[in-house]
Amino acid sequence: MPRFIHTADIHLDSPLRGLSAYQDAPAERLRGASREAFSALVTRAIDERVDFIVIAGDLYDGDWPDFNTGLYFCAEMGRLQRAGIPAFVLHGNHDAESQMTRALRLPDNVRVFAANACQTHVIEPLRVALHGRSFRQAATTDNLVTGYAAPLRDHVNIGVLHTALEGHAEHPRYAPCTLAELQAKGYEYWALGHVHEHALWPGPSTICFPGNLQGRSVRECGPRGAVLVEIDGPGAQARVERLTIDVLRWEHLRLDVSGCADLAAVGLASGRALGRLLDVDGQVPRAVRLTLHGRTAAHGALFARATELRAQVLAEIAAIGPERLWLEKLRLETQPDQGPATDDGPLGADALADLAALLQEARDDAVLREALRTDFAQLLGKAPDLATELPLLRQVRDGELDAVFDQVLPGLIARLASAA
200: left (phi over 0), alpha (psi -120 to 50) or beta: beta
Is there a contact between 194 and 92 (Cβ–Cβ < 8 Å)? yes
- Residue length, the chain? 420
Give the integer Cα–Cα distance in Å for 250 and 287. Answer: 5
Question: pLDDT per position in the chain (420 positions), as tens?
Answer: 899 999 999 988 876 655 555 667 777 778 789 999 999 999 999 999 999 999 999 888 766 556 788 889 999 999 999 999 999 999 987 776 555 556 678 899 999 999 889 999 999 999 999 999 998 877 788 889 999 999 999 999 999 999 988 866 565 678 889 999 999 999 999 999 999 999 999 989 999 999 999 998 888 999 999 999 999 999 999 999 999 999 999 999 999 999 899 999 999 999 999 999 999 998 999 999 999 999 999 998 998 898 899 999 999 999 998 888 999 999 999 998 865 444 444 445 555 565 566 666 666 667 767 776 777 777 667 666 655 555 566 666 666 666 666 655 655 555 555 454
Give the integer Cα–Cα distance in Å for 184 and 187. Answer: 8
Helices vs. strands in the chain: H and E counts, helices first:
13, 15
Strand partners, 54: 6, 88
Domains of the chain: 3-244 (3.60.21.10), 249-343 (no CATH)
Quick one: pLDDT at residue 117? 92
Give the integer Cα–Cα distance in Å for 303 and 331. Answer: 10
Taking each helix axis from N to C terminus, what angle separates 349-362 and 409-419, rounded to the nearest 10 degrees? 170
What are the DSSP E strand ranges found in 124-257? 128-132, 156-162, 189-193, 199-201, 206-209, 225-230, 239-244, 249-256
Strand partners, 157: 129
Which uninterrupted H or E stretch holds 291? strand 286-296
Quick one: pLDDT at residue 344? 46
Computed over its alpha carbons, how large is the radius of gyration of the chain? 26
Give the integer Cα–Cα distance in Å for 417 and 419. Answer: 5
Quick one: pLDDT at residue 346? 46
Quick one: pLDDT at residue 345? 44
Give the integer Cα–Cα distance in Å for 105 and 387. Answer: 45
Burial class (CB in 10 A: 0-12, 13-18, 19+), 163: buried
Q: Using DSSP bridges, classify how beta strands 52-56 and 87-90 pair: parallel, antiparallel or unpaired.
A: parallel
Quick one: pLDDT at residue 182? 95
Q: What three-state secondary structure class fits 111?
A: strand
Quick one: pLDDT at residue 93? 77
Quick one: pLDDT at residue 342? 46
Q: How many CB atoms lie within 10 A of CB 300?
A: 24
Closest to 159 measured CA to CA, from 125, 137, 128, 136? 128
